[in-house]
Structure 1
Amino acid sequence: MKKKGEAAYLRGIGYIVRYIVILISILLALFPLYFVIVTAFKSKGDFIANKVGFPQTWVLANFYEVILTNPLLRWIINSLTLTIPSVLITLLVASLAAYAISKMYFKARDLAYNSIIPLMVIPPVVLLIPLLRAAISLKIVNTFLAPIVIYSGLLLPFSIYMLTNYFATVSNEIIDSAKIDGLSDIRILFNIIIPLSKPAILILVVINSLYVWNELLIALIFLQTNKTRPLMVGIVSLKDRYSMNTTVLMAGLLISAIPIIVLFIISQKHFVKGLSAGAVKG
C-alpha cells in the first residue's frame, strides 16, 4: 500500500509539472501576440512609460498613421498578387505529383517520395545568391514572376509530402471503379481525389498562404521598388534608419495579420483533421 501511495504521489507530481510546463509554453507563445495588440493601441509616451502593460488610454492614432500616410492598399494588392498565384500553382503541381506517387506505379516512385524530405530542410537563404543571379540574367528582378516562382518551389516539397500521405488514405477500390467507368487519371484526381481531400487542401492553403504573406527576405531582395513592395516589406519600411516607431510598426503588423486570421477561422474545423491525416503515411 505504501508503494502504491508513493506511485500515486509521484504521478500527481508529474501531472502538476507537465501542466506547469504546458502553461508556461502557452504563455510564451501568446506573449508576442499580446505585445503586438497592446502596443498597437498605445501612444508613444505611453509605450515609453510602460512597454509591457496595458495602455493607459487606448488610441487609434497608430492605425490612422499607417493607413493614411502609406500606400497600404497598394501593399495589400501586391501581397495578394504574390500569395494567390503562389498557393494555386503549388496546389496544382503538388496535387499532380502526390497523385502520381500515391496512386500510380513506376520505377522511381519510392525514390521520388524519399527525396521530398531532404528538400524540405534546405534553408531558403542558401539559395538566394544563385536565384538572384538567375533572376538578373532573365531580367525578372522587380517583377512578381520571380518571387512567385521561388515561393512555389519552396512550398512544393512539404505540399507534395502532405498530399501524398492524404491521397494514400483514399481507397484504391474507388480508383479502380472509376477507371472501369472510363475516367482518366486527371478526371479521377479532380473529380474524386481532391473533393475527398478537402481537409488537406484547406490546411495547405492556410499554411502556404501564411508563409507567402509573412515572408520578408525574398520579397525584400527581388522586389526593390515602391511599386512592387508587398505588405510585409512595406510595414518593415515604417522603421526609420536611426529610430523605430514601435507603436506604428505594431499597428501595421496587426493589420497585416487580419487576412490570415480570417482565413484560419474559416478553415479552422479542417485544421486538426488535415494535419493529423498528413502526419502519417496511410
Structure 2
Amino acid sequence: MKPDRALKHGVLLFAVFLALVPSLFMIMTSLKSDEEYTYNKAGLPQALVLDHFDNVLFHSPFFAWMGNSIILVVGSVLLSTVVSCLGAYAIARMKFNGRGLLFSVSTALMAVPPVVMIVPLFVLYSQLGLISTYQGTIIIYAGLITPFSVYLLTTFFRTLPRELFEAARMDGAGDLLILRRIVIPLSLPALLTLVVVNALYVWNDLIIAIIFLQDDSKRTLMAGISVFQGRYDNQIPLTMAGMVIASAPMIILYIAFQKYFIQGLMAGSVK
C-alpha cells in the first residue's frame, strides 16, 4: 500500500474510532454496577450487570414513552413527506412566478436554529391550547424537517428525465397523477432517505419534547430517559441502559434501509 493511501486509511480509521467512542462508553457504562462505575468510569466492566436493563424495561413507563415517540415520529414524518413531495414537485417541474424565490427561502430555513423559534411558538401554542398535544408537536416537528426534505426532493426530481413527463402529459396525465404514478416510484431511494433522517431527528429530539409536551402521560422516550438522573439519584448506568435500548429502533431502521439511504444521499449529485 502506498504511503499516502495508508495515511488516508489511518486518518479514516481514527475518525471512525472517535465517532464510536461515545457509543462504546454508553454500552460499557450500561453494563456496570453503580459501585463499579464510581471507581471505574472509563474502563471495561469487570462483570456484566443486566439489572439496569430490567429496571428500564419493567420498572419505568418505558413502553409508554416509546409509544409517544412513535406517534410523533410517524405523524411528523408522514406529514412532512406529503407536503415536501407536493412542494418539491411544484418547484422542480412546474413553471410559476416566484419559483426560484420560494426554493431559496425554503433552503434558507435550514439554517435557522430551532431554539430561536421556541419562545414565539410557545406563546402561540399557549393561546391556541396546543401545549401537551400530539397534533401541535407533530406540526412543529414537521415544520422543522420540511425545508431539508424539500431541498433534497427538489434536487432529485430535477434529475428525472424530462421525456417521462412529456410522454405522460401527451397521454393526458395531470400533475398529481404524474407525481403519484411516475415521480414517487422513481424517487424511492430519496424518500426512504428522508424517512430515516427525519425519523432520527424526531426520535432523538429532547428540547421540543420537554417544552411542548409537559404532560407526564405524553412524555417522549428521550425526555423520559432524561429524568432518570433526577428521579433515580443520578444513576448514570441506568440512564445509559435506557439510551442503549432507545437507540436500538433507529439502528434497526438504518440497517434495514441502508442501501436506499446511501443511494438517496447521492441523489442529484450526478446528473
TM-score (norm 1): 0.92
2:66 is aligned with 1:76: yes
Name 2:162's counterpart in structure 1. 172
Name 2:50's counterpart in structure 1. 60
Correspondence 1:228-267 to 2 at 5 A: 228-240=218-230, 243-267=233-257
Name 2:190's counterpart in structure 1. 200
2:224 is aligned with 1:227: no
Letter in 2 for 1:207: V
How many positions carry a matched residue from both structures? 271
Name 1:185's counterpart in structure 2. 175
Deviation at 1:23, TM superposition (A): 2.2
Q: List runs of 5+ in structure 2 lacking aligned partners.
A: none
Name 1:130's counterpart in structure 2. 120
Deviation at 1:120, TM superposition (A): 0.3
CA distance in 2, matches of 1:243, 1:24: 36
Tell me, yes or no, if the aligned pair for 1:142 and 1:223 is still in contact at 8 Å.
yes
Q: 1:135–1:98: structure 2 CA closer, same or farther, 3 Å change rule?
A: same
Report the more deviating stretch, 62-71 or 126-135. Answer: 62-71
CA distance in 1, matches of 2:118, 2:98: 30
Deviations 1:18-66 (A, max 9, x none): 3333222111100011111111111112222322222111121000111
User: RMSD of aligned C-alpha atoms?
Assistant: 1.7
Name 2:205's counterpart in structure 1. 215
2:149 is aligned with 1:159: yes
Deviation at 1:249, TM superposition (A): 0.3
SS at match of 1:147: helix
Name 1:88's counterpart in structure 2. 78
TM-score (norm 2): 0.95
Name 1:277's counterpart in structure 2. 267
Letter in 2 for 1:174: L
CA distance in 1, matches of 2:107, 2:83: 17
Q: List runs of 5+ in structure 1 lacking aligned partners.
A: 1-10
CA distance in 1, matches of 2:60, 2:232: 19
Larger radius of gyration: 1
Tell me, yes or no, if the aligned pair for 1:117 and 1:157 is still in contact at 8 Å.
yes
CA distance in 2, matches of 1:133, 1:214: 24
SS at match of 1:239: helix
Name 1:101's counterpart in structure 2. 91
CA distance in 2, matches of 1:209, 1:71: 22
CA distance in 2, matches of 1:100, 1:242: 52
Which 4+ stretches in 1 moved above 6 angstroms? none
Tell me, yes or no, if the aligned pair for 1:162 and 1:200 is still in contact at 8 Å.
yes
Letter in 1 for 2:198: N
Deviation at 1:17, TM superposition (A): 3.9
Letter in 2 for 1:199: P
SS at match of 1:59: coil
Deviations 1:208-255 (A, max 9, x none): 000000100010001111111011100001112795211000110011
CA distance in 1, matches of 2:204, 2:188: 24
